[in-house]
Amino acid sequence: MLEALDLAKRGSGDVEPNPRTGALMITDGEIVGRGWHQFYGGPHAEVMALQDAHAKGAKPDTAVITLEPCSSQIGEGGKKTPPCTNTLLAAGIRRVIVGAMDPDPRHRRRGLLALEQQGVEVVEGVLADRCLQQNQTFLKWLNLDRPWTIAKWAMTLDGKTAAPTGESRWITGIESRRRTHELRARCDAVVVGFRTAQIDDPELTVRHVFGRQPVRIVVDPRAEIDDDSNLVRTANKTPTWLLVADDVDAARAGHLQDLGVQVIHVKVAESPRHIHLREAWRELRRRGLRRIVVEGGGGLVADLLGWSCVDQVQCFLAPKLIGGRTAPTPVAGEGRAFMAEAWQVSEWTHCVSGDDLLLSGFLP
């Protein structure tokens, strides 16, 4: 089980909160196969371990798994993954040693029961606390009453997200921009603040890759977005939502709705120019959004951090220096007064993205 736990730690840090699972396949007491759930949409740990065993010509009789095997067909990344319980049974596994039960209440113990009903010996609860601790990110996702939120930005080596003039095209290279569009396609919505919508006039669509179009959302308390902006002009083609204060001018809100923009009223917090972002995010969840990416600006990201509404960060770091006291940074606002109060990011992963570097991590 300890080796299976170590395998599970190799999670890719992908954009989705995956269960971190590892599996071992055993024949006559000897380990003959190893595997782990490497990325969202990829084969589960049990499948990887069985493939490893079969590649060696082995026929395992025992499986050691950190998390209860799934018992229903899983849809991930547009694919359908067959239940791992069926896969284990088809492979002739007669004994399964499991660390922890599935934390999802919809599936808890269903996989173990399916195995037991077919005569498989099940040993459960081995190092269960450690297995669950390793899956804290997944447990958090299961219990959220708002969308899983990824704060994504691109910046120069000196931490700037635009030049002092506000111009930002392009900080990163084509590969990083392609990855950004992949991320959009895997999220239910892409969100920006009013100033980003005003300065950049973005489209916020998926273009460089094939994939679904996310809902486009602007946090715009006073409904100040321009009628001739890209977002408003194309609102009848691609769903576009505006989060506004509940006291916003009714005529203005009605005008935007006539143009195809869905206006969502949210109660005011702190001042007339701010909205209660926690309640806004709950409303997004009630409307069916489970995973969203926030692409700026720094003020919105800072506000969301303050409301504890950020779960993951993705930073594309470009090998450029631009300087400037007034050049924007990815997280603005008042910040934290002391280093001891800094938001801690854990489970960091990194990879090369063309000439850039992609850093990804989770907030507890």
Catalytic residues: 46
C-beta of residue 19 within 8 angstroms of C-beta of residue 46: no
Peptide bond into 297 cis (omega under 30): yes
List Cα–Cα distances, 201 to 105, 228, 234, 259, in angstroms: 43, 10, 12, 17
- How far apart are alpha carbons 337 and 48 in whole angstroms? 47
- How far apart are alpha carbons 88 and 62 in whole angstroms? 9
H-type alpha helices, 118-187: 128-133, 136-143, 174-185
Q: Is the dihedral of CA 361, 362, 363, 364 positive or negative?
A: negative
Q: Which amino acid is at 45?
A: A
- How far apart are alpha carbons 194 and 221 in whole angstroms? 8
The full length of the chain comes to 364
- How far apart are alpha carbons 309 and 148 in whole angstroms? 8
List Cα–Cα distances, 80 to 37, 42, 43, 103, in angstroms: 15, 10, 10, 21
Surface-to-core class of residue 117, CB atoms within 10 Å of its CB (0-12 exposed, 13-18 middle, 19+ buried): exposed
* Token reading at 154: 């691109």
